[in-house]
Structure 1
Amino acid sequence: MTMGRVAAIGERSRVGGLALAGVQVLVADGPEVVRRAWRDLPEGIDLVILTPAAAEALRSGLAAPPGRRPLTAVMPP
């Protein structure tokens, strides 16, 4: 069984520690940076963990990047 790749998008203080678990951390401290990180997700990402602020920044456009449909999870506040 092959495990999928996981990424996290959000503020450094909330996502930084996930790198220790092998998560690809995409630090994004503002709405525009969050949207860019989402749009430019690397190939092969199957799960994206979002901070609440990142989820809010993507609220209106949380559609998957073209050609991909990663599962998303939002961290609790």
Structure 2
Amino acid sequence: MGHIAAIGEPLRILGLASAGVLLRPAEGPDAARDAWRDLPPDVDLVLLTPDAAGALGPEAVDGQEPLVAVMPP
């Protein structure tokens, strides 16, 4: 079984650590793109904050792998 990661503003994703989610804090578009690019290969699900999803663009959200979900605003 793969892992779950979260990319986005630290305050929005911090609480997910208690569920074992791999946190990739990203303040700003460049940091979000860097976090996406540096995800380990065993991540199967990525949770994105709306700002991180906007920085990554629709191709990240619409891709096949990993599965991506965008958090509500």
> Percent same amino acid among aligned pairs?
57
Q: What value does the CA root-mean-square deviation take over the aligned residues? A: 1.7
Q: Which residue of 2 aligns with 1:18?
A: 16
Structure 1: segments with no counterpart, 5+ residues: none
Q: Which residue of 1 aligns with 2:7?
A: 9
Q: TM-score, normalised by structure 2?
A: 0.89
Q: Which residue of 1 aligns with 2:66?
A: 70
| Cα distance in 2, alignment partners of residues 51 and 7 from structure 1 | 11
Structure showing greater radius of gyration is: 1
| Cα distance in 2, alignment partners of residues 53 and 12 from structure 1 | 12
Q: Which residue of 1 aligns with 2:55?
A: 57
Q: Deviations over 1:11-45 (max 9, x none)?
A: 00100110000000000011000001001111200
Figure out how many residues of one structure are paired with residues of the other and give that number: 72
Counterpart of 1:76 in 2: which secondary structure? Answer: coil
